Chain A
Amino acid sequence: GQQLNQSPQSMFIQEGEDVSMNCTSSSIFNTWLWYKQDPGEGPVLLIALYKAGELTSNGRLTAQFGITRKDSFLNISASIPSDVGIYFCAGNIQGAQKLVFGQGTRLTINP
């Protein structure tokens, strides 16, 4: 099946630093999504991308749908303590109804 490679697996940063994480796929994806999961909760959708090259922002978060349609990145600017959590990329190929999820990036912030 489709595989998503998400990196890095974990990040330890200082409050105020910028964060960057990315996902690559062996297949061409029709949609890229970024989710955040807080401890004890389900993933929550942050940003959805639908077109190759699309760059979308949500507050301090910015995500892009790669031109090749096989990759996406998520940037977080000026990190704050509530950004702590696990970030997942997800996507689906054309015509598929189910999402494939990356392995997640665990973000830890030192105050």
Chain B
Amino acid sequence: GDSVTQMEGPVTLSEEAFLTINCTYTATGYPSLFWYVQYPGEGLQLLLKATKADDKGSNKGFEATYRKETTSFHLEKGSVQVSDSAVYFCALVLGGSQGNLIFGKGTKLSVKP
């Protein structure tokens, strides 16, 4: 079935370090891909999205490129801040009649000053 696999955390980085969180997917169709972020004690917020192959989503210094050939959507940021500490979820949705969002298990990021 359709699924999303994320690298397991937690990931601990120093401030200004480079961040990569790997995400790969399995899907029967052509999904749209998303990264959501959950700050402590809050609900999820959409961070960025890409709807077709080679699209690059970007927001708040984060980027991810939809790679159809490797079925991947890795999240990157060049210089993380303490305020980026959160749990990051990769997700996909398929069009048509299904409509449900499939999440990875989440990766917890801790950034130390």
A and B interact: no
The chain A residues found within 8 Å of chain B, CB to CB, are none
